[in-house]
Amino acid sequence: MSEKVFEALRGRAKDEPYAKMLGLELLKVDDGYALVQMTFTERHRNIYGRCHGGALFSLIDEAFQFASNSSGRIEIALNVSISYVKAPNEGDVLQAEAKLLNRSRRISHFLIEVRNLPGELMASCQATAYRRDDPLPFL
């Protein structure tokens, strides 16, 4: 895919209000690939004081969004299945890495893993997107 698409996605990531609120940062985007980072802080806590599953889902979804749309076409999530493996500790820097497994004319499949910096697996996800014919509207 073209650097023009990747640059446009990086620009959109900087201005995304939801990502800013959660502290999500796009570190890398490439064809069928994205790496997004978040530091687990007080604002991500659930009622037990641990990291809220929704915060981890948002981290995963952010990586999925950029990896799938790196094709330059609009791709819309059809299914996201997450297994939460280990609870992160406050202060952990978490990275979601989305990798394209397969892309056909209409469907793309991704594997997304969340790890802390020492490399411990926190969550694993399989995600499927529907590929529209429309180019990204901000290109």
Question: Tens of pLDDT along 14-47?
Answer: 999 999 999 999 999 999 999 999 999 999 999 9
CB atoms within 10 A of CB 85: 13
Query: What domains, with CATH codes, occur in the chain?
Result: 3-135 (3.10.129.10)
Which pLDDT value is given to residue 1? Answer: 57
Contact 9, 63 (CB under 8 A): no
pTM check: above 0.85: yes
